Structure 1
Amino acid sequence: MTILNDQFFDSLASSTLDTLEAETLPAACYTDEEFHAFEKAALFEHEWLCVGRAEWLEEPGDFFTVTRADEPIIVSRTRGGSIKALSAVCQHRAMLVAEGHGNARAFVCPYHHWTYDLDGTLVGAPAMSRTCNFDKKSAALPEIRHEIWHGFIFINLDAEAAPLAPRLAGVEDVVANYAFEDLRGPRPEEPTIFPWNWKVMLENNNDGYHASRLHAGPLHDFIPSGLASFPEVPADSAGYYRLNGTLHKNAAFNATQKAVFPVFPKLTEEEQNRLLFVNLPPSLSLVVLNDTVLYLIMDPRTAGSHALTIGTLMVPEALDDPLYELKMKMNDTAVEEIVGQDFHVDELVQQGLRSRFAPRGRYSWQEGAQRLLNVWLVDRYRAEWDRRRGPSAPVTRLHA
């Protein structure tokens, strides 16, 4: 029997109340495949999705491929230097015209050798001269909307979606001094598939409550849960954030407990005594220290799994430090220990959510970021449910 009914969606309102009154989302939001398909339509086919970084495309012809909401996509830099997001699907017989990443003069379909320029224009179609009413201009690779926000590339499959940048005004002030667009880092490894829902991943990465408990010890004690705060953002914001005070200046996750790369030069004294966690659901989460930024790009695959790309950014000159490799190894050792604890919890939470005893639990004040995510999600779930019920249905959107 379907869970998608008025009663289910009405029940989500309790997850958007003030943090000390709210309860968690129903377990089905994390485990049910029918709900996952609904969520794909509600979120991933209409929202801005992070696919990578602009510096991955330094030269004309550079490209990389991703899949979002089951759509194969090429992101490339054209001969003129602009960035394009294109469908990777050949307009002849639906073969994919590119895989992986690299540099290309053109995209050549390996099946029948239709050839597309870097901007998606069809420039070659062998043996098609006898085909009636064949128009090469109409057979270009479809272009997909994209925006670049502080160096992060976002795509949107919905041609009618509101632009991204104006909806991030509520986080601009808090990220301004980090200058994400100027940062650089090694290209991340290929995505890894993890056996838990993407929301479990996003929630854990922004949960101030568990930090002093799960991660208790010298690698994390200088960032106590009691110094977490969860500023409100405008109701229509495409992102939200968490701040967490630190017990000493320029704290970092390594054996020294302090930044080992150059501190971002524009940071204020206040910013140097806290960490920042920025979230642009449903696909990007940032852990912002004062010398490095850890970014996580999420791509759901099923109700119980998602692909995750993890990358690191820092000021460009840090990459030329003769001790760069040793410093990164020290950072990575600490981060891997902390992340290993998180991943173990994430996997067990997903198992618990499948239980008949999975609760709709209550929140601590240190879980304010979860409530902010709930507000973002439920507004979009209700909007999609209203669309499905048709124009005669009452409007039930919870926030403007």
Structure 2
Amino acid sequence: MTLFSDAFFDGLSSSTLEVGAAQTLPPACYTDAAFYDFEKAALFDREWLCVGRVDQVREPGDFFTTEIAGEPILVTRNRAGEIKAMSSVCQHRAMLVAEGKGNARGFVCPYHHWVYSLNGDLVNAPAMDRTCGFDKKTVKLPGFKVEIWLGFIFVNFDDTAPPLAPRLQNVEAAIANFDLEAAEALEPMTGQFAWNWKVMFENNNDGYHASKLHRGVLHDFIPSELASFPEAAPGDAGFLRYNGTLHPDASFNPTQKAVLPIFPKLSDEDRGRATFANIPPTLSLVMTSDMVIYLILRPTGPETMAQDTGVLVAPGARESYGFKERLEMIMTSAGQIIAQDMHVDELVQKGLRSRFAIRGRYSWQEGAQVQFNRWLAPRYQAQWARMQGQPAAPSTPVEAA
């Protein structure tokens, strides 16, 4: 079947059926360079993209840089205390005006010393007085829409995009007791990986493999058969996965119990399970009683990605007795589990390139994959319709959003 055809995109609907009838996405969605370019237009140019936490820009002048799908992004807090996001590409010769993180009064392009304010306005451009028609007041770093949700910073390249928060009400209600806005954040870490971003997103939401791949003392308290998948409404911008645990306050460490202070507002129901909250295409949360791990997925190519991994803990937890040692206990154990996942992700990507890779079928324990497909497929189909000069079908989740 031709990749860019009505038949291909119509066929994606079979990935959105009930889990017992659904097919996996076509392998080309994970490997093909042309599809990746299509996907950038379908998703990353239009959807809300998580770039970090407000903790990373606490004070006026604080900034950090990141990149998603080839776009360099600069996030800062201005003198009025507002969080701003903009392109970090100088409007002179395309040099990046900032790297890394820090605190600055403004941004000086290191190439030719054009100077931009914290709002992105051009305030100085040396030796441009002889340039015909040049007016620095008309030049600024392109700005992006910004929305803050539970302490996470989201940006959108599409000025017409609808707000994010109203479409996350179900997810927000489900995780409200973690009070993520008040949580304390540890310094995030960044890694580079040789697989498609969807491989990572799917693995993080795959309860089916847990009791097999991760069998042992570090994971046996959270068996796959206790997985459940709340239904996401059409138009929702996120979805959930729950996995019950064999005892309350379970945690990924050799004791199998929480070793850090638990989030103080959690209900008994919260404490009896792990919660996985997902806001595609960039944010995935793994939530236990004493720790939230967040993953910010940033594609860098059709078969490569970067990921920022951060940790949130209960207010005051960092001052608790033995915090450093207890945290190390969890992270060492989590590291062993993650290493198993990384090995699988690498081999899955290799398999997806094979001529023998097919559209497979799902177990009931893979309900989150169908939820993800129901987010993806209508957006792919809507972009294909736009490319054909047709309106997207009004019944799709994209339109309902």
Q: Which TM-score band (shorter chain)? A: over 0.9
Match of 1:374 in 2: 373
Per-residue deviation, 1:26: 0.6
Q: How far apart are the structure 2 equivalents of 1:218 and 1:196?
A: 28
The whole-number CA distance in structure 1 between the counterparts of 2:393 and 2:6 is: 12
The alpha-carbon deviation at position 97 of structure 1 amounts to: 0.7
Deviation per CA, 1:70-112: give whole Å up to 9, x if none. 2211100111111100111112222211111111111001111
Structure 1 residue 328, shift from structure 2 partner: 1.2
- Alignment partner, residue 19 of structure 1: 19
Shift of the alpha carbon at 1:316? 3.3
Q: Are the counterparts in 1 of residues 61 and 118 from structure 2 also a CA contact under 8 Å?
A: yes
Q: Any conservation in 2 of the 1:386–1:396 contact (CA below 8 Å)?
A: no
Counterpart in 2 of 1:334?
333
RMSD between aligned residues? 1.4
Mapping of residues 265-304 of structure 1, within 5 Å: 265-304=264-303
Contact between 1:63 and 1:103, CA under 8 Å: does it hold in 2? yes
Aligned equivalents of 1:305 and 1:94: distance in 2? 24
- Helix, strand or coil at the partner of 2:118: coil
* SS, match of residue 55 in structure 2: helix
Structure 1 runs of 4+ aligned residues shifted over 6 Å read none
Q: Is the 8 A contact 2:264 2:314 kept in 1?
A: no
Q: Secondary structure at the match of 2:260?
A: coil
Contact persistence 2:187–2:310 (CA under 8 A): yes
- The equivalent of 2:28 in structure 1 is 28
Q: How far apart in 1 are the matches of 2:299 and 2:5?
A: 23
Cα distance between partner residues in 1 of 2:321 and 2:248: 25
- Cα distance, 1:387 vs. partner? 0.2
Aligned mates of 1:69, 1:331 — CA distance in 2: 32
- Structure 1 residues 304-336: Cα deviation after superposition (integer angstroms, max 9, x where no partner): 111111111102311123412111110011101
Between the aligned partners of 1:104 and 1:259, the Cα distance in structure 2 is 40
Report the residue type matching 1:395 in the other structure: A
1:202 match: 201
Which whole-Å CA distance do the structure 2 matches of 1:296 and 1:156 have between them? 18
Provide Cα deviations, 1:206-253, integer angstroms capped at 9, x if missing partner. 111111111111111111111110001111011001011111010000
Aligned residues: 398
Q: Secondary structure at the match of 2:184?
A: coil
What are the Cα deviations for residues 118-172 of structure 1, in whole angstroms up to 9, with x where unaligned? 1112211222233333222211212111111101101101111111111111212
- The amino acid across from 2:112 in the alignment is H
Q: Which moved more, 1:100-109 or 1:128-137?
A: 128-137
TM-score (norm 2): 0.96
Cα distance in 1 between the residues matched to 2:9 and 2:394: 10
Q: How does 1:17-96 map to 2 (within 5 A)?
A: 17-96=17-96
Separation in 1, partners of 2:321, 2:288: 22
* Native 8 Å contact 1:379 1:397 kept in 2: no
AA aligned opposite 1:108:
V
Task: State the distance in 1 between where 2:174 and 2:392 align.
Answer: 37
Amino acid at match of 1:203: E
Match of 1:171 in 2: 171
| DSSP-derived class of the 1:285 partner | strand
TM-score normalised according to structure 1 size? 0.97
Alpha-carbon offset, residue 394 of structure 1: 7.5
CA distance in 2, matches of 1:238, 1:2: 30
Unaligned runs of 5+ in 1: none
DSSP-derived class of the 1:294 partner = strand
Aligned to 2:153: 153
* Aligned counterpart, 1:363: 362
Q: Is the 8 A contact 2:221 2:246 kept in 1?
A: yes
Judge conservation of contact 1:45–1:69 (CA < 8 Å) in 2: no
3-state SS, counterpart of residue 306 of structure 2: strand
Runs of at least 5 residues in structure 2 that lack an aligned partner in the other structure: none
Alpha-carbon distance, 1:343 to partner: 0.7
| Cα separation, partners in 2 of 1:104 and 1:394, compared to 1, 3 Å | closer
- Counting only pairs closer than 5 Å after superposition, residues 113-152 of structure 1 correspond to structure 2 as 113-152=113-152
Q: What is the rounded CA distance, in whole Å, between the counterparts of 1:61 and 1:274 in structure 2? A: 40
1:185–1:316: 8 Å Cα contact kept in structure 2?
Answer: no
Identity of aligned residues (%): 59
Retained in 2: the 8 A contact 1:383–1:396? no
User: What does residue range 202-351 of structure 1 map to in structure 2 within 5 Å?
Assistant: 202-351=201-350
Residue number in structure 2 paired with 1:162: 162
